């Protein structure tokens, strides 16, 4: 399942809903797909949360006049 926040964040959960959550962030210049090969093994024990940074993958980019504006996203 994937969802998109109209502002900046595209994310995805995989794995059992009752499992502990593992958060996997992307490297700069990549998408959540960098973890695709590990997901089958990880979801045996975890509910995995992945996301795209603004302007990466399906997450829309927008102007950010300062670094603080980027971190707020």
Q: What is the pLDDT of residues 39-54, one digit of tens each?
A: 999 999 999 999 887 7
Q: What range defines the domain where residue 47 resides?
A: 2-72
Tokens at residue 19, please? 């499992």
Amino acid 69: pLDDT: 72
- The separation between CA 12 and the C-alpha centre of its own chain, rounded to angstroms, equals 6
pTM: 0.71
Amino acid 7: pLDDT: 58
- Segments in the chain below pLDDT 50: 1-6
Tokens at residue 51, please? 């996301």
**Buried b / exposed e along 15-35 (16+ C-beta atoms within 10 A):** beeeeeebebebeeeebbeeb
**To which H or E segment does residue 32 belong?**
none
Amino acid 4: pLDDT: 43
Number of domains forming the structure of the chain:
1
N- to C-terminal Cα separation, the chain: 21
Amino acid 13: pLDDT: 97
């Amino acid at each position: 399942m994937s969802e998109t926040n109209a502002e900046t964040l595209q994310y995805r959960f995989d794995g059992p809903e009752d499992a502990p959550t593992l958060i996997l962030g992307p490297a700069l210049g990549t998408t959540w797909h960098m973890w695709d090969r590990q997901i089958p093994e990880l979801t045996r024990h975890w509910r995995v949360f992945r996301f795209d940074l603004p302007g990466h993958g399906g997450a829309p980019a927008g102007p950010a006049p300062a670094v603080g504006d980027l971190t707020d996203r």
